[in-house]
Amino acid sequence: MCDKCGCEQEHEGNHEHHDVVGSKIIDVNKSVTEANDELAQQIGNFLKDKGILSINLMGAPGSGKTTFIEQLVEFIPAEEIAVIQGDLESDIDKKRLEKKNIHTFQINTHSGCHLNAMMVNKALMHMQPSGKKYLIIENVGNLVCPAAVQIGQHIDIVVSSTTEGTDKPKKYPVIFMNTKMIVLSKYDLKEAVGFEETKYLEDLKNINAEAKIVKVSSKDPESFKDAAEFIRDERERLFKV
């Protein structure tokens, strides 16, 4: 018996697999992921050709992702940045960024817990990002799903706040694994919430020893300078400009 679909044929046979009612089994998960990854690759290449570094900015809801972008423009001119803003509903973050003169396109996923390459592709068709140096894609606030889906980014950045708790790298390791930079935000609140920095950094090191870690607080705008420099250096390193 075939051990994949249970039909009478030998399991090594090159036959089409069937379910109990006789219809063909299609590995939907695989094909959808492949199509997404292919489009993501094309988006990444398109942006690279234009000299635009794309960043998948991820983190829990309220971790400080939009604040991070707002503060970056103190060190990277707003006209060099375009943002795709992913939220379930509302254009609250888009309006915040437009106050900082950042060209922003809002995507509302409604019930979707992450962006995908198709959404980013559609946004880019509306945005015309030529002339920008950085495309920051603020993903939907979530520590799980965004890490699993390619959206055409060249690098991942995770914003992780002290107020979420010391245990987050241990409990949600996947999102921290391949990220180039971890922005430890709300550093001003670390005492108030009993954040154990040494333990947090130790856990992070076990998951991703390569990531750059920057500690930031919206109360101290200078604390974002290192992160801005890292982003600028990454663009130069990857694009050799």
Ligand X SMILES: Nc1nc2c(ncn2[C@@H]2O[C@H](COP(=O)(O)OP(=O)(O)OP(=O)(O)O)[C@@H](O)[C@H]2O)c(=O)[nH]1
List, edge to edge, every strand of the sheet that includes 212-215: 103-108, 81-87, 134-138, 53-59, 155-161, 181-185, 212-215
> What is the four-CA torsion angle of 21, 25, 28, 29, rounded to 10 degrees?
100
Pick one of ligand X, Mg ion, none as the site partner of residue 208 (Cβ within 5 to 8 A by kind).
Answer: none
Looking at residue 209, its amino acid is: A
Q: Which of residues 172-201 bind ligand X (CB under 6 A)?
A: 185-186, 188-189
Cβ of residue 88: shortest distance to Mg ion, in angstroms?
Answer: 11
DSSP states of 83-119: EEEEESS-SHHHHHHHHTT-EEEEEE-TT-SS--HHH
Q: Report the half-sphere exposure of 83 (CA within 13 A, side-chain side).
A: 29
Q: Which residues of this chain interact with Mg ion, rule CB under 5 A?
A: 65-66, 93
53-59 and 212-215 strand pairing: unpaired
Contact between 65 and ligand X by CB under 6 A: the answer reads yes
Q: Which is nearer to ligand X, 54 or 67 (CB)?
A: 67
Indicate which single residue of 5, 17, 62, 121 sits in contact with ligand X (rule: CB under 6 A): 62
Cβ of residue 137: shortest distance to ligand X, in angstroms?
Answer: 12
Indicate which single residue of 141, 146, 152, 169 sits in contact with ligand X (rule: CB under 6 A): 141
Q: Which is nearer to ligand X, 67 or 116 (CB)?
A: 67
Cβ of residue 87: shortest distance to Mg ion, in angstroms?
Answer: 7
Q: Which is nearer to ligand X, 66 or 104 (CB)?
A: 66
Distance CA 115, CA 84 (A): 10
Contact between 77 and ligand X by CB under 6 A: the answer reads no
Pick one of ligand X, Mg ion, none as the site partner of residue 201 (Cβ within 5 to 8 A by kind).
Answer: none
212-215 and 181-185 strand pairing: parallel
Residues that bind ligand X (CB under 6 A): 59, 61-67, 93, 141, 185-186, 188-189, 217-219
